[in-house]
Structure 1
């Protein structure tokens, strides 16, 4: 992954999403050869010279200040995740010319305290992942919930590989298309944060080679945070589950995020999670799916 190219392509992709009306600029008509704003218009909105912005969009990030980043973020109407990603890309572009400044690949280890904590959370599925979306740890219910991902998968089990390369994924995730976009956006964030992570580069290369959809979405340069949302899952044992997830960054284990899933009490999804938990005490769902009880009715 070329840091200067990533910065250039990200800025180009963001200004292509804005039109004159959205930017609050007058439209005097005339043909525009490319979609979105021109470089000169972004520079005007950001309060800088056109030449300075053009250099930045070519990947030359030398001497870029926080004020410049803020100005470009306002001009391109970046959200919090995009603003943070731009900051990471500029840092990476600056350090790329100075190998001695590069951060080493982040290593993540699960502490006994963390394992004890997630094992004690017996009524909700817990899934701990790193920035590459490798499954680093789960509690019992978390592994049972994502049994399709773990079945016949060599370590490290990876959510991106499952979503894009496993034929079961479009059935497991009822909103599979939304999940594909989310997965790529999360990997884009990690690529900006950890531009010299060889394992991440290898993963992106593998998915780009094996999945046309991944390659297309990767080229869009979209990013997002993974804080809270809904997962609509079709589990092979208990049927459809509509789950809320909460993403918690583990400050004690830099680079790890703990995802906790839950269902609203009194719903079929809540009953389904309880059924899955009870079933898991005596059965391995990956091996005994043919003996599964009837899923709760919605």
Structure 2
């Protein structure tokens, strides 16, 4: 990803979202583009038009914190957008944003630590899983494996939430609010791209999805950034039907880029009853698989003796 292009397109897209009325400026006439003019942003930020034009061309390296704060205020950036702008500036200066090593090429995700696996397995009343900065589903608890069975499938490469969202038709049934989920997914990936624009693994994923999904390409081009640490989501599971859950996303400080996410249903709600039904179904599936494995093993031993 070209960092200068990322800066340019992000600033232009944010400028287009702020109307003169929002900024307390006279509307005037002769506007050829939506949003504020460069001169208006410069005035609001207290910098020269020439300097702001330079920043919007992507030459943000060396910009001071006070200038970036003033620019954030002029463009009415929210906290996520402001952090993204700071990440882009640090990347332009060649400064790491989170101590995360830059990956030079795509690689299999690192295994989950045993203690983290024990934590997942201890969570039995809700869906719990670990997701990394590339939207890979790294690990789940038992209920999580049942919950995400449409995504996990029969195995193969590491399940990826973004690929499932944009490339698997089953996602439109699994996510009743599909467009909202798509925006959240892309917005989260945009945040990661700002932290490390040279990450080859993320570049490869963005390139793949941009080539294969018109919707992803449109949302990626909007340059919206989103973080969503908590809230509610709706799902439609093929086994138990619609579920409404609360979610909490907890950053794993011991593993930068990874997060532990937990879905729980409101006590006494129909969704909690369906979650328990899903857990029962999953336990039955595991018991049947264990029985089949035992029978196969016995048959093999019998064949060896004969």
State the shift of 1:226 in Å: 2.2
Match of 1:90 in 2: 89
Specify the alignment match of 1:20 in structure 2: 20
Gaps of 5+ in 2: 290-306
Query: Contact (CA 8 Å) 2:61, 2:90: kept in 1 or not?
Result: no
**Which sections of structure 1, spanning at least 5 residues, go unmatched?**
288-298
Report what 1:203 is aligned to: 205
* Number of the residue aligned with 1:76: 75
1:143 lines up with 2:121 in the alignment: no
Asked if the contact 1:108/1:254 (under 8 Å) is kept, the reply is no
Q: Match of 1:232, SS?
A: strand
2:278 counterpart of 1:276: yes
Contact 2:184–2:226 (CA under 8 A) maintained in structure 1: yes
Give the 5 Å matches for 1:213-232. Answer: 213-232=215-234
Q: Which residue of 1 aligns with 2:37?
A: 38
Q: Distance in 2 between matches of 1:120 and 1:194?
A: 33
**Correspondent of 2:235 among 233, 236, 244:** 233
Report if aligned partners of 1:109, 1:253 keep a CA contact under 8 Å in 2. no
Computing the radius of gyration from Cα coordinates, the structure with the larger value is 2
Report the equivalent of 1:182: 184
Q: Note closer, same or farther for the CA distance 1:230–1:102 as it changes in structure 2 (3 Å cut).
A: closer
What are the residue-to-residue correspondences of 1:99-138 with 2, within 5 Å?
Answer: 104-105=102-103, 109-138=111-140
Q: In the alignment, what sits opposite 1:154? A: 156
Distance 1:121 1:14 in 2: 41
* Residues 105 and 194 in structure 1, CA contact (< 8 A), matched pair in contact too: no
Shift of 1:109: 4.6
Aligned partners of 1:188 and 1:218 also within 8 Å: yes
Q: Do the aligned residues in 2 keep the contact of 1:229 with 1:244 (CA within 8 Å)?
A: yes
CA distance, structure 2, for counterparts of residue 284 and residue 165 of structure 1: 29
CA shift in 2, pair 1:39/1:261, >3 Å: same
The two structures have a TM-score, normalised by structure 2, of 0.88
Aligned pairs, how many?
Answer: 282
CA displacement at 1:104 relative to structure 2: 2.0
Aligned alpha-carbon RMSD (Å): 2.0
The aligned counterpart of 1:6 is 6
Q: 2: distance between equivalents of 1:236 and 1:127?
A: 19
Give the TM-score of the pair, scaled to structure 1. 0.90
Aligned residue in 2 for 1:294: none
Please give the alpha-carbon distance, in whole angstroms, between the structure 1 residues aligned to 2:260 and 2:147. Answer: 15
User: Structure 1 CA distance, aligned partners of 2:174 and 2:100?
Assistant: 39
More off after superposition, 224-233 vs 104-113: 104-113
What CA distance in whole angstroms lies between the structure 2 residues aligned with 1:102 and 1:49?
35
Distance 1:153 1:176, change over 3 A: farther
